[in-house]
Structure 1
């Protein structure tokens, strides 16, 4: 591992979030604190740092949760260094209207939370699908709070009645389908049906079996099939259906249909040319 560090900043419409992707061998962080939370996963090696009067160690599979204003340092615990991904959410972004929680331990071993935090970080830094990335971020924060915060798990707020939930899901679908090329943000979707992002995600997934970003990708693939069957090129179809590029379309199209867009288009066109 070399000495590398890259910062990314994303915005969900209300809050800015900084993300760090880094690896260190010799670097030592001086004693400092953050104005935000620091939630990170070690992806290689092991880090050690002093926090609340104790020396802590975080290795692969560990989740670190540091609170605002808490002094700490940081260095490699082993000669080969460490690599990690860290999210720096503000209190408002992390709790998003929930009662504030304290965190019992700064280092926890929790494969589910580690997976969710890392997946959200990777999606956000890739920047390919903001709706999917911010959805994963909401699930990650919910897991961290409920599994490791000082609050008892709660059902996440009052449930909408069946009729109201059906109406809200229909409104979300309409909003997503209004323009396949430009997905609304997670916060815009939630505000449009007067729900918190977490509650909106839960209501939508209970009704459809998918979170909004996954449901939208499937709709994009469905529309892409119609355009390809009509003779449009994969590159044209990617732009018309909201995929980042042709490679992005190809990955999802093959996952859903088992063939590439070009193979699908060619097979449909060849069939159409066959004599009756």
Structure 2
């Protein structure tokens, strides 16, 4: 077994979300000489301090900071105190341009970040949440929604010419179509992009619209509906394994956590309560 403090760099190719890659550097001591990236790098330092040399200046990135590196910009990286741990989201330029266009629902230029580092606890927290989803195999919809929050926040706060956010219109019928689609296809691996397509809207706009109209996110609505159907199956005598699988949970632990989060008790306790009635 590897020691917990052993140096390592893990690359996550997100097959369910194209044009995005994640990198988790653990206890990195390696000094990266001057280089460039093809895409954007948006990341955080989890432990230690990262020093980025760019445009003749050195910037120290600490655990409460975020860093934003544009494609094609030469820079060098190293640890200030021997080693550091970081997490970075790598985004292809066309993908970030698409996200920027979704914000305003109008074509936008590729964003540019003139700010290399910023103290931003909210964005830092959003990136940490995405890291957890990547490492613990969160659903595609969870990761999509998390990315929308991260990239839209970065573009709007640190982009040189941030797009105007399109005002939300009622679109009640679009939301209702998406809700009915979820109720029909709840056992499938639904994605935010798929639901946005049903509503004929961009994922960014659809996420905001659904939340404003329904009061919860599309993912939370899906999970609550799955648990509702699972309870119906358990009431009729289904086993925990069958109920979890039939409503769309491929992992028993995910089912248990979701069930308790929605109902307040574990599915096992739910069954025991039925037997005591």
Could you say whether these structures have the same fold, taking a TM-score greater than 0.5 normalized by the shorter chain as the test? yes
Segments of structure 2 that go 5 or more residues without pairing to the other structure are 102-107
Instruction: Write the distance in 2 (CA, Å) between the matches of 1:34 and 1:176.
Output: 39
Aligned to 1:274: none
Aligned to 1:82: 84
1:146-157, aligned counterparts within 5 Å?
Answer: 146-152=156-162, 154-155=164-165, 157=166
1:9 aligns with 2:13: yes
Q: CA deviation at 1:239?
A: 0.5
Aligned to 1:227: 233
1:136 aligns with 2:146: yes
1:51-62, aligned counterparts within 5 Å?
Answer: 51-62=54-65
Instruction: Write the distance in 2 (CA, Å) between the matches of 1:263 and 1:117.
Output: 34
The answer as to whether partners of 1:180 and 1:240 remain within 8 angstroms in 2 is: no
The answer as to whether partners of 1:12 and 1:134 remain within 8 angstroms in 2 is: no
Match for 2:177 among 171, 180, 183?
Answer: 171
Q: CA deviation at 1:83?
A: 0.5
Aligned to 2:93: 91
Instruction: Write the distance in 1 (CA, Å) between the matches of 2:250 and 2:161.
Output: 40
DSSP-derived class of the 2:48 partner: strand
Aligned to 2:196: 190
Tell me the C-alpha RMSD between the 2 structures: 1.6
1:243-254, aligned counterparts within 5 Å?
Answer: 243-254=249-260
1:255 aligns with 2:255: no
Query: Structure 1's 85 and 125: CA in aligned 2 closer, same or farther, altered over 3 A?
Result: same
1:126 aligns with 2:136: yes
Aligned to 1:66: 69
Segments of structure 1 that go 5 or more residues without pairing to the other structure are 272-276
DSSP-derived class of the 2:185 partner: coil
Instruction: Write the distance in 1 (CA, Å) between the matches of 2:157 and 2:224.
Output: 31
DSSP-derived class of the 1:264 partner: helix
Q: Deviations over 1:67-114 (max 9, x none)?
A: 0001111111113x1111111011222231522332131111001111
User: Runs in 1 of length 4+ with deviation above 6 angstroms?
Assistant: none
The answer as to whether partners of 1:124 and 1:130 remain within 8 angstroms in 2 is: no
Q: CA deviation at 1:46?
A: 0.7
DSSP-derived class of the 2:94 partner: helix
Aligned to 2:105: none
Query: Structure 1's 200 and 12: CA in aligned 2 closer, same or farther, altered over 3 A?
Result: farther
Instruction: Write the distance in 1 (CA, Å) between the matches of 2:135 and 2:261.
Output: 23
Q: CA deviation at 1:177?
A: 2.0
1:187-226, aligned counterparts within 5 Å?
Answer: 187-226=193-232
1:18 aligns with 2:21: yes
Q: TM-score, normalized by length of structure 1?
A: 0.90
Number of residue-to-residue matches in the alignment? 265
The answer as to whether partners of 1:12 and 1:185 remain within 8 angstroms in 2 is: no
The answer as to whether partners of 1:235 and 1:245 remain within 8 angstroms in 2 is: no
